């Protein structure tokens, strides 16, 4: 599996989904689908790179509070959509979450893992989250040309969840989708190390720091939580697409026409 990492330095976890093999052995087109972390600190140079790359739409998966506190830049010629994937106002491991849950994070080294599994399960089950995924797919189906960038804070969980459904609809096999999701661990190595050093300097306990590493990591267990929840609660991914997301053959074929070579 070849991962197409973008040569930009001020956006976390920036990748082009182009190059993966999908339906009928057709490749996902490059310069069409970008998955990243937050872009609020993007440099002018990297902004110009994305403009030259073909960027036409940005889909922000973060909460309204996150988008207000760290707003995306207004890039000329680029349409912006705020579509919070979760109805919760924040993200695990974010500033507000650390203030609310610091005691729990210091007491149980596994609490972060358990909370992450619950969040992934909620993404599958909650009506708000399902509606957000469908809205994103509709935007993609109405983008005939140009590059769509979608992102959350670290480009790992909410972005990874959306990517699972996009790639699956394009016919990419689940193992490739899993490996793409797990690749965030490599992309976030330096980010986690810098974050951990800051926590250590602030006198945080090993238990706290272990939880923070989990919250900033991708995991097979989180990915499997999605698949198992879909299987157990909804009878499989195909039924989930049809009955919970309202994915029609027409929409699926439209996406394949637009995003596969």
Residues 207 and 105: beta-carbon distance below 8 Å:
yes
Sheet holding 33-36, edge to edge: 4-5, 15-16, 33-36, 147-151, 55-60, 79-82
- What number of residues does the chain have? 261
Residues 181 and 223: beta-carbon distance below 8 Å:
yes
From first to last of its 261 residues, the chain has per-residue pLDDT tens of: 799 999 999 999 999 999 999 999 999 999 999 999 999 999 999 999 999 999 999 999 999 999 999 999 999 999 999 999 998 876 655 555 555 556 789 999 999 999 999 999 999 999 999 999 999 999 999 999 999 999 999 999 999 999 999 999 999 999 999 999 999 999 999 999 999 999 999 999 999 999 999 999 999 999 999 999 999 999 999 999 999 999 999 999 999 999 999
Distance from the Cα of residue 196 to its chain's centroid: 22
Q: Looking at residue 178, what DSSP letter applies? A: H
Rg (CA), the chain: 18
Give me the residue label for tokens 């509709």. 138
Q: What pLDDT score was predicted for residue 99?
A: 53
Q: What pLDDT score was predicted for residue 103?
A: 77
Q: What pLDDT score was predicted for residue 1?
A: 79
- Structure confidence by residue, pLDDT tens digits, 190-229: 999 999 999 999 999 999 999 999 999 999 999 999 999 9
CA gap 62, 148 in Å, rounded: 16
- Token readout for 76 is 């000329």
Residues 211 and 111: beta-carbon distance below 8 Å:
yes
Residues 13 and 36: beta-carbon distance below 8 Å:
yes
Q: What pLDDT score was predicted for residue 90?
A: 63
CA gap 42, 52 in Å, rounded: 15
CA gap 124, 116 in Å, rounded: 13
């Amino acid at each position: 599996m070849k991962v197409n990492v973008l040569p930009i330095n001020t956006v976390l976890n920036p990748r082009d989904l182009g190059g993966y093999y999908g339906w009928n052995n057709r490749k996902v087109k490059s310069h069409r689908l970008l998955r990243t972390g937050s872009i609020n600190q993007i440099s002018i140079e990297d902004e110009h790179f994305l403009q030259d790359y073909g960027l036409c739409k940005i889909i922000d998966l973060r909460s309204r509070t996150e988008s207000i506190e760290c707003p995306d830049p207004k890039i000329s010629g680029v349409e912006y959509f705020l579509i919070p994937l979760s109805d919760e106002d924040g993200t695990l491991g974010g500033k507000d979450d650390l203030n609310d849950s610091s005691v729990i994070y210091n007491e149980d080294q596994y609490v972060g893992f358990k909370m992450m599994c619950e969040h992934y399960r909620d993404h599958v089950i909650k009506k708000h989250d399902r509606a957000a995924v469908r809205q994103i797919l509709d935007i993609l189906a109405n983008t005939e040309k140009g590059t769509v960038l979608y992102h959350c804070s670290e480009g790992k969980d909410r972005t990874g969840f959306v990517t699972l459904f996009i790639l699956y609809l394009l016919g990419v096999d689940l193992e490739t989708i899993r490996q793409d999701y797990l690749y965030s661990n490599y992309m976030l190595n330096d980010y986690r190390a810098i974050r951990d050093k800051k926590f250590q300097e602030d006198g945080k306990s090993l238990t706290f720091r272990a939880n923070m590493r989990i919250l900033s990591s991708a995991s097979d267990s989180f990915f499997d939580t999605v698949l198992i929840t879909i299987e157990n609660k909804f009878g499989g991914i195909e039924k989930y697409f049809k009955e919970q997301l309202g994915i029609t053959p027409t929409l699926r074929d439209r996406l394949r026409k637009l995003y596969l070579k």
